[in-house]
Amino acid sequence: MSGFHEKDCDCGNDCDCAGDHRGVEEMEMVSALFPLTSSESKRLIAKGVAALPEVRRALKKGRLVIAGGTTNAFVAEELLGVKLEKALYTAGIITGGKLCTTPPEKRIHPYCLKDGKPVDLGPAEMAAEFEAEDVFIKGAGAVDHEGHAGVLVASPNGGTIGTSMGHVLARGAHLIVPVGLEKMVPSVIDASQSCGTTRFKYSYGASLGLIPLVNATVITEIDALWLLTGVTATHVGSGGVGGSEGSVVLAVEGTEEEVDAAFNLIKSIKGEPPVEMVNRDCDDCTYDCTIGRRGA
């Protein structure tokens, strides 16, 4: 999706051999198949994001924003070595069958770092200081087969992404979007045209808009596997029950060494605990929704 699947040859010849001059027919290709739960996918994607050169560079010297979101909580853990209550590292959350929010007083403030050290700024304030090599990481609520991603927002000003994206894009900085394939939709653009915070007569939870993201590097499980092991992955199925809701099934192919590395990586993240349910009490919520404060 994000263009990370092409291997560059550094042998000095005009070819695409990825440094291996054996013919394709001489390279034994093997494959593997596995499902990933939602949390396992988040852990894998976070490891992929943490491996990106631009992210490592900004963490060492530059500005780095890890905006709110449950997937971004995994990213923060991988990059910073912290342990987080992941449901509190977000404002909006789909939980209990509702489009809900987390309690504001319990939320974990998003990490905003300069040269690897936290600064007392919000994401939009930090983005206002961005330069071209700085990095803004923001998860998404939707992704499509063309690699477009979109952020679901309940705030009329577009929330974190609405107040930050202009700064990021105007400066030509890096926008990294970790998002699981469980959030696949036919078209992000079509979905955005069907949403809006003031559009809906009824809403099971907060009414939402959907902001499409442009000039973003989208990292899914497919991209993460390529970045970390070199395998080519294909999304072949989704779904599950009994704790496997939201799972994706992936088939991977590569050399025996690559597939072994991929399968060992998957084994290492198997059993990742699910993100716990945390939501705001309807009586304290400021968003109008059909089932909550205003009633139906």
For residue 28, tell me if it sits in a domain.
no
Number of structural domains found in the chain: 1
Domain annotation covers residue 290:
no
Q: Does any domain span residue 9? A: no
Is residue 55 domain-resident?
yes
Handedness of CA 108, 149, 211, 52 (dihedral sign): positive
Q: Is residue 1 part of a domain?
A: no
Q: Domain containing 82: what range?
A: 35-284
Instruction: Give yes or no for a contact between 182 and 38, defined as CB atoms under 8 angstroms apart.
Output: yes
| Tens-level pLDDT at each residue, the chain (296 residues) | 454 444 455 555 555 555 554 454 567 899 999 999 999 999 999 999 999 999 999 999 999 999 999 999 999 999 999 999 998 998 888 888 888 777 778 889 999 999 999 999 999 999 999 999 999 999 999 999 999 999 999 998 999 999 999 999 999 999 999 999 999 999 999 999 999 999 998 988 888 999 999 999 999 999 999 999 999 999 999 999 999 999 999 999 999 999 999 999 999 999 999 988 776 666 666 666 766 654 44
pTM: predicted TM-score of the whole model, two decimal places = 0.88
Nearest partner of 40 among 296, 268, 278, judged by Cα: 268
DSSP result, 10-65: -SSSSS--TT--S-GGGSPEEEEEEEE-HHHHHHHHHHHHHT-HHHHHHHHSSEEE
pLDDT the model gives residue 280: 64
The confidence score (pLDDT) of residue 249 equals: 98
Q: Is residue 59 part of a domain?
A: yes
- Whole-number Å distance between alpha carbons of 204 and 93: 13
Q: What is the pLDDT of residue 292?
A: 61
Which residues, including other chains, have CB under 8 Å from residue 120's CB and lie 6 or more apart? none
pLDDT at 189: 97
Report yes or no on 138 lying in a domain. Answer: yes
Query: Which helix (H) or strand (E) segment is 233 a member of?
Result: strand 232-238
